Amino acid sequence: MESIQLIGQVSIIIAGITIAIGSIGPAIGEAMALARALSAIAQQPDEANTITRTLFVGLAMIESTAIYCFVISIILIFANPFWNHVVTQAGG
């Protein structure tokens, strides 16, 4: 019974760490991209539409990293393969 509790606790802790660390990188990347896009728009206002379109595509790609981390944490909490293995080994 103790290994089941340990796997549950570790899964929740790792899911939290995954979300915490996995959201810091994309947040910094998005901030840097936005700052550079605003700087580029300030220097070349005629190209604002092109810069904005490219910015949104880049932000979507950056945000996908945070979404992947979120999916991994959800898998660790709700569909953990280690949990199923321990439950079958325990006979439950």
Domain that holds residue 71: 2-90
Contact criterion met (CB below 8 Å) for 53 and 41: no
Distance of alpha carbon 55 from alpha carbon 61, whole angstroms: 10
pLDDT block averages, 10 residues each, the chain of length 92: 79 90 92 95 94 94 91 86 75 64
In 3D space, the residue among 9, 21, 17, 1 whose CA is nearest the CA of residue 80 turns out to be: 9
How many structural domains is the chain composed of? 1
Collect all residues with Cβ–Cβ distance below 8 Å to 22 and sequence separation of at least 6: 65, 66, 68, 69, 70, 72, 73
Residue 81: predicted pLDDT: 78
Q: For residue 22, give the CATH number of its domain.
A: 1.20.20.10
pTM of this prediction?
0.71
